Amino acid sequence: MKNFLLLLSLFSAVQSFGQSPPPKFSLNGGARAVYFADRLQLAGDTVTLPRENSGHVLADLGVNIRPNAATEVQAMVRIRNDYGGFWGSGVSFDIRQLTVKGLIQNRFKYTVGDMDYALTPYTMFRAAPVLELFNGVQAMQTIQQNMPGYDVFMNNNGTWRTQGAALDFGLLFKKGPQKMSNSLFAMRLRPGFGGAATEQWAFGGRTELIWGDFPLRVGGTLVSVNDLGGTSASTDLYRNTVLATDGSLGNGFLRLNWELGNSRSQFADTGNTVKSDYFYTVGLKIGKQWQVRYAEVGPDYFNPAAQTTAYNPAGIPRSFRAVGNERALRTASLYDFAREAGLYRAAWSTTLGDDQSNYLLLDPFGEATPNRRGVTIGWQPGVLVKGLSLSTRLQWFSEIRGSGTTNLTQFTRAEVTAGYALRKFDAKLMYRYQNAFRPSDNAEVPALNVQMPWLSANLGYQLNKDLRFDAGLIQVQNRGTGFNAERNAQNEIVFYNEVKYDYVETLPVLSVSYKVFGKSTLQAGMLLSNVREAGIQMNIRSGFLAYFIQF
């Protein structure tokens, strides 16, 4: 509690100073203090300690310097102390950000160092569909955004935090297109470490033309990932290039948008094997309520920048890592993804790896998941009656090429989201039904049939502008028979593992949050994680106290 009080007083003073910064110098950053008291219940377990307490205090102290009107330098250091560390023994120091931005001749904008970068969903995008469950539950969203989401630079616009350089510039025209915007980048994905690993870089850019009268927008994007030969003794070099074009027409009652492209992957270690495939998507927005889209992604379409998922469900959580008398490693659940940054990926992966079927059987690699085609229909009428809003989404899609059989797997997703607000009360409900089905064509290949319903609900009460109470619930289920695909380094499927699903995860949460001042929130509550898998039930009860601030 002393740490919380000290942090409150320290950063209230820092924030007051930061509100009136000197013209060429300002302080920014964030801080948090969190404490979790966890209790585990597992029937028949006589080995695992039933209680764990954890927490930490950290501060991100940033300095923004503007030596002149055309240059900006941002540097940030992180200081962290985990509870239980005394007299500096538990304190760690890290450089969180180093960035230089500037203008050249007031025409060219450059960025060098750490930067957040995204392009289109099929060329460079950080997809995180499971996080939609947290967005429906206020307390879970606050924890996830301010802890792992903040630590791994996860933004709502799908950007990746990378290191490198970017150059942006635009052109205006008197005739023809109204304007052109351009962006070029170079990113260092993997350092060579003096020959211990092969250096890997990504290069590319984007150009976009806009005609203002139609209006018409046409863009082109290039993303190329390359191992640099000679930076290590290895001759296994990877090359991947994605070239795409996209655009839109109209902004009134009808709006047409599209994107199409091709990927080319080369693997030097297998006799320069080359794989190439396509994708395209066409969408139509009708008025303000209806959206229809068709998308198709070829079986051999590979793109590390768009298909690397934001998190790793195969990761091992820190809390109660080994449970049960056999001390088996516990797999990560939504409870862990709300708390631990170590379960998220911070860098692209050039291999798809195994399908992550625990939550994402239908599209395990985001919107750009290969071997998928189908239709999406969305209806968002807005506010139906006073205080009541509604949106729905329906998807039907299938495989393009059979996964080990001649029959294609069919996928269905139906989702409805409803919100209601009355005076100081507000409520939100999201239900998503998901199904994957494939009939058997012979006795050796069992039929595939998996149901994956998701549910999230939240009831909030805003007592005043600062004090809020929330009660939320998240439930995820998997049941049926499915298959996990094992892939080699060339992204080829080498084997299918049959999986029997019998999984239910329920997370009820109660919290009270108070806005202390500015962009700071003090939150306290109780979180339960109930997991039942193959008849075995495990419960984690967690009380938490957290303080978050950004300045």
The Cα 220–Cα 123 span in angstroms is 10
What pLDDT, in 10s, does the model give residues 26-50? 999 999 999 999 999 988 888 888 9
Antiparallel, parallel or unpaired: β 71-82 and 51-68: antiparallel
Q: What is the pLDDT, as a whole number, of residue 357?
A: 67
In degrees and rounded to multiples of 5, residue 503 shows phi and psi of -135, 130
Q: What is the pLDDT, as a whole number, of residue 440?
A: 80
Which domains occur in the chain, in start order?
Answer: 2-71+98-550 (2.40.170)
Tokens 């049960």 sit on residue: 324
> Which of the residues in the chain have pLDDT under 50?
1-22
CA distances to 44, 459, 545 from 53, rounded to whole Å, are 22, 28, 12
Report pTM. Answer: 0.89
Q: What is the pLDDT, as a whole number, of residue 495?
A: 82
3 state SS of 430: strand
* Contact indicator for 267, 300 with CB cutoff of 8 Å: no
DSSP for 367-403?
GG-SSEEEEEEEEEEEEEETTEEEEEEEEEEE-SS-S
What pLDDT, in 10s, does the model give residues 292-303? 999 999 999 999
Closest CA to 476 of 365, 297, 333: 333
β-sheet bridge partners, residue 298: none
Q: How many CB atoms sit inside 10 A of residue 384's CB? A: 10
Question: For residue 252, what are its two tokens?
Answer: 């009134």
The per-residue b/e assignment along 251-281, b for 16 or more CB within 10 angstroms, e otherwise, is: eeeebebbbbbebbbbbeeeeeeebebebbb
Question: For residue 97, what are its two tokens?
Answer: 């950000």
- Give 94's Cβ-side CA count (13 Å radius): 10
Q: How many CB atoms sit inside 10 A of residue 551's CB? A: 22
The Cα 141–Cα 156 span in angstroms is 12
Q: What is the pLDDT, as a whole number, of residue 229?
A: 86
Q: What is the pLDDT, as a whole number, of residue 269?
A: 63
Residue 241's contacts (CB-CB under 8 Å, 6 or more residues apart) are 222, 223, 224, 225, 263, 264
Query: Residues 320, 321, 325, 328: what is their CA dihedral angle, to the nearest 10 degrees?
Result: 150
CA distances to 65, 83, 150, 170, 243 from 68, rounded to whole Å, are 9, 42, 30, 22, 38
What pLDDT, in 10s, does the model give residues 358-411? 788 888 888 999 999 999 999 998 777 888 999 999 999 999 998 777 889 999
Secondary structure in 3-state letters for 146-186: HCHHHHCCCCCCCCEEEEEEEEEEEEECCCCCCEEEEEEEE
DSSP annotation of 270: G
CA distances to 309, 408, 416, 452, 505 from 358, rounded to whole Å, are 13, 21, 22, 9, 11
**What share of residues in the chain are helix, strand, coil (percent, to 5)?**
10, 55, 35
Cα-based angle 498, 451, 391 (whole degrees, multiple of 5): 140
Q: What is the pLDDT, as a whole number, of residue 540?
A: 95
Q: What is the pLDDT, as a whole number, of residue 21?
A: 45
* Contact indicator for 102, 72 with CB cutoff of 8 Å: yes
Q: What is the pLDDT, as a whole number, of residue 88?
A: 67
Q: What is the pLDDT, as a whole number, of residue 10?
A: 38
CA distances to 317, 364, 388, 426, 447 from 499, rounded to whole Å, are 22, 15, 41, 40, 12
3 state SS of 253: coil
Q: What is the pLDDT, as a whole number, of residue 20?
A: 46
